[in-house]
Every structure is written in structure tokens, then in C-alpha cells.
Amino acid sequence: MEKRKFTYFKKEILHNKKAFISLMFLILIVFNSISIGFYDCDPDAINISNMLAKPSMLHWFGTDELGRDYLIRVIYGGRVSLTVGVLAMLTSIIIGTVAGISAGYFGGHIDNFIMRLVDIFSAVPWIIMVTVVSLLIKKGIFSIILVIGMFSWMEIARLVRAETLTLKQRDYIQYADFIGTNPWKIMWSHIIPAVLPTIITAATTAVADAIMTESSMSFLGIGVQAPMASWGSLLQSAQANLDKAFYMAVIPGILIILTICSFNNLGNLIRAFAEPKSRSGESNG
């Protein structure tokens, strides 16, 4: 059954213009991020004689306040933003899935405890949580990934828990439990594959959210640190030079928008496949 869904999915992506463009854009960005490593260009190559140059044939995106080629800075920045996005997503997905399945499957005290944790973590606005934690731990790329992951697992946990609760009632799960199968094995072999569509949908949204969060954090100065740059930190430096080098602010912002939009579009498409479609019209007798 999965193979048939997959073929439908591939067909739908090709027909659905929005999803197709999104997918192509993301492939382009990822390709650029990876392939730039093979080129001999240094994103930190300072050239004071050419500061804040407007975009030209030589420098397609112009140069920044230290004369560094902006195109290269932006591509490297994209690499960082995407990496943080994906890794932070993985962190939150793993935490969220483990929490959700445990809460849903075991129920009782474990469920209560985990749900209280969800409430507590959800109780403080993310920006406060994130800024406070950044005070306590060393700044850097891994810190951000951890921080973002630690404060975005709650929604996934809720979703997974709800799915698990429904699945627990299914006959094949109850039977497996009845014949004494190890609960971990049940969770790994039966429940996780069944909640996988939900997780995948949540994952695309999680990447989009993580990229937004990272950009905001870097913009505020508590994200990636110089000389490493992400789109968010590029925007921070752009702010100081706003009147002289407007392009510095425009470009990373547009890329953030396009990337997040693309992930969201793909996420919507996946969600349409993950959720069972209600049959329109026929069901009215």
C-alpha cells in the first residue's frame, strides 16, 4: 500500500506547480550549499578596498562591510542556516517522538509527567526561554541546535501522543500486547511506522520553524557567532549598514522567505497524503 501512495505522491508533485517549484528551489539551495565546498572561495576573505560595493558583474551580490564577496557569504550562510534547521528538527523530532510515544503508550503516571513537562516547556514564550538559556550555555552552532531542539519538541509530542493513543486501540496492537510482545518492540515495529506520516509532516514544519528561530536568534546576536555566518546574522550586520548597502538586508531575507515557504509547501503536500482523505460527495448517501 505504501508503494502505491508513493507513486501517487510522485505524480502529484509533478502536477502540483507550487510543490514542484518548492522542491526544485530546495534542491537548488542544498546543491549550492554542498557544492560551494568544492570551490576555492573563502567567505572570510576580507578586502578593505572594496567595502560595501553594490552588486555588479564581478560581485553578483555585492560586498559586505569588510569587502567580502556577498554571494559567497550568502551561500555559506545558507549552509549554516539549513544545517541548523535540519539538525534542530532532528533533535526536536527525536525528543518529541520518544516523549509522545511513551506518554501515549504507557499512559498513567508517565503520561501525566510528560504532559506536565509539555505544559511547563510551553508556558514560557520561546524567545524568553531561548534568550535565557543562551545566557547559561556557551554560544555556538551546537548550542543553538540544542536550544532550538529543546524548545520545539512539545507540539510533536502532542501529535505523536494523540496518534499513539488511537493506535493503542487497534486490534493488531492489542493482539501483539496480548501475546506478550516486548513493549519496546511493539513501539519500534508497529507504532513508529504508523505514526511516521505524522512525524514526516511535522518534520517539514519543524525545519521551517527552526530556520526562523535560528535567524531570529542570530539576528539578536545570540545565535551563530562571527566569523561563521547564517542568514540571520548576515541580517544583523546588514542592519548597521542599512542606508548604504540596502541589498545586504534584502537578499538573505528573501532567501529565508523562499526556503521556509518551500518547506511549508512540501509539508502541506505531505500532510494531504498522510491524512486519510474524506471521500467527497459520495458519503451523502
Partner 1 sequence: MDKLMEVNNLKTVFKLNRKILTAIQDINFEIYSGEVLGVVGESGSGKSLMMKSIMGILPNNAMIEEGQVLYKGVNILSLEEKEKRKLRGKEISMIFQDPMTALDPLRTVEYHLKEVILRHQGGGKVYSRKKAIEMLKKVGIRNAEERMKQYPHEFSGGMRQRVLIAMALSCEPSLLIADEPVTALDVTTQLQILNLLKELQIEHQMAIILISHDLGVTSDMCTRVIIMYGGRIMEEGTKNQIFFHPKHPYTKALLRSSMDIEKGIGRRLYTIEGYPPSLNEYLQGCPFEKRCRYAFEKCRDKVPKYQYYEDGHRALCHLRGEELDER
Partner 2 sequence: MLKYIFKRLLVAIPLIFVITIICFLLIYIAPYDAVDAMVSPKMSKQEIEAKKEQAGLNDPFYVQYGKWFKNLCHGEWGYSLTSGTNIRQDLKIYIPNTIKLVLPSYFTAFFLSIILGLIAGSNYNKQIDRIIDAISSVGIAMPTFWFALMAMYVFGYHLKIFPLMGMHTIGKEKSLIDFIYHFTMPYVVLTIGFLPELVRYVRSSTISEFKEDYVLIQKSFGSSKTKILLNHVSKNVMLPMVTKLGMALPMLVTGAIITETIFAWPGVGTYYMKAIRTLDYPIVMIILVLSGTLVILGNLLADILYCLIDPRIRITE
Binding site for partner 2 (CB under 8 A): 119-120, 122-125, 127-128, 131-132, 134-136, 208, 212, 215-216, 219-222, 232, 235, 238-239, 242-243, 246, 249-250, 252-253, 256-261, 264-265
CB of 275 to partner 1, least distance (A): 16
> What is the DSSP annotation of 66-134?
TS-BHHHHHHHHHHHHHHHHHHHHHHHHHHHHHHHHHHHHH-HHHHHHHHHHHHHHHHS-HHHHHHHHH
3-class SS letters over 122-164: HHCCHHHHHHHHHHHCCCCHHHHHHHHHHCCCHHHHHHHHHHH
Q: Could you tell me the smallest distance in angstroms from the CB atom of residue 15 to partner 1?
A: 9
Nearest to 231 by CA among 61, 79, 91: 79
Q: Which option in partner 1, partner 2, none does residue 249 bind, with CB closer than 5 to 8 A by kind?
A: partner 2
Q: Would you mind telling me the total number of residues written for the chain in this entry? A: 285
Q: With respect to partner 1, which residue has the nearer C-beta, 2 or 282?
A: 282
Give the range of 87-95, 131-139, 154-162, 276-284 binding partner 1 by CB under 8 A.
276-284
Q: Which one, 118 or 187, has the nearer CB to partner 2?
A: 118
Residue 282 binding result from partner 2, partner 1, none, given CB thresholds of 5 to 8 Å by partner type:
partner 1
Residue 222-261 contact track with partner 1, rule CB under 8 A, x = bound: ----------------------------------------
**Complex with partner 2: residue 83 or 122, whichever CB lies closer:** 122
What is the Cα–Cα distance from 165 to 110, expressed in whole angstroms?
A: 14
Q: Interface with partner 1 includes 276 (CB under 8 A)? A: no
Report in angstroms how near the CB of residue 278 gets to partner 2 at its nearest: 9
Nearer to partner 1, 40 or 282 (CB): 282
Question: Which one of partner 2, partner 1, none is in contact with 285 (Cβ closer than 5 to 8 A by kind)?
Answer: partner 1
Which amino acid does the sequence have at 266?
L
Cα separation of 145 and 210, whole Å? 9
d(CA 251, CA 254): 5
Minimum CB–partner distance for residue 86 and partner 2 (Å):
17
* Three-state secondary structure call for residue 63: strand
Give me the residues paired with residue 63 across strands: 69
Which residues, including other chains, have CB under 8 Å from residue 267's CB and lie 6 or more apart?
A: 201, 204, 205, 208
* 108 binds partner 1 per the rule CB under 8 A: no
Q: Which residues bind partner 1 (CB under 8 A)?
A: 280-282, 284-285
